Amino acid sequence: MDTQRGRTDRRTFLLIAGLPLLTVGAGMTYLLWPQPPRRPEVRTDLGPLNRRLGPFLGELSDAHWLGYDIEGPGDDRSIPGPDSRIRVVGVAHLAAGGAAAITGKPDHAFAAAGAPSDLPAALKQHLPAAASWQHSPAFDAHANGQGAAAGQASDGIPTGRYLFDTARDLVHFDVLYLFT
């Protein structure tokens, strides 16, 4: 009879100790299980764009853009790195004549450019196929310097490329903000 009592105590102990272990194991499995990557959604709000790009592009309208961390999904289950790199890429309309005013400045030396490369699939439908893009490395340097000077420390350090279509008053921007 004493043998039976020992088995009952051992079973009770295993049940009491095993249940929390199973719960912790299931929780860890959920946290570590690979999740499908979240696709960023196309945004149309103008506030963040006009705050960051407005000082050197002017007032933007009718924008379609994405802003995301290029290192990963950025959800609450990932460990943040020592720095993050946020890509802001999209297309927007400038005020009437805005593209011509920017590209007409001789100190920027704009030249014909090809269509934007490395464009996220979600944005392809918002870029006109027949656009005549113009690009200037000098304007990129000017805009990146203006963005760094006008921005606050929380805005990150910008590195970007800007393409303009004067016929449609469009700007395509692809900017990387480094936050350290």
Q: By residue range, what is the domain housing residue 4?
A: 1-33
Check whether residue 54 and residue 13 sit in a common domain.
no
- At 104-114, the pLDDT tens digits run 999 999 999 99
- Annotate 62-92 with b (16+ C-beta within 10 A) or e (fewer): ebbbbbbbeeeeeeeeeeeeeebbbbbbbbb
Question: Which are the contacts of 131, defined by CB distance < 8 A and separation ≥ 6?
Answer: 115, 165, 167, 168, 170
Check whether residue 136 and residue 159 sit in a common domain.
yes
Query: Does 105 fall in a domain?
Result: yes
* Cα–Cα distance list, 145 to 31, 55, 77, 141 (Å): 41, 11, 35, 6
Asked whether residue 3 carries a pLDDT value surpassing 80, the answer given is no
Check whether residue 122 and residue 67 sit in a common domain.
yes
Check whether residue 15 and residue 83 sit in a common domain.
no
At 49 the pLDDT is: 93
Query: Does 6 fall in a domain?
Result: yes
Check whether residue 105 and residue 173 sit in a common domain.
yes
Question: 156 or 109: whose pLDDT is higher?
Answer: 109
Mean pLDDT, the chain, whole residue set? 83
Question: Which are the contacts of 47, defined by CB distance < 8 A and separation ≥ 6?
Answer: none
Asked whether residue 153 carries a pLDDT value surpassing 70, the answer given is no
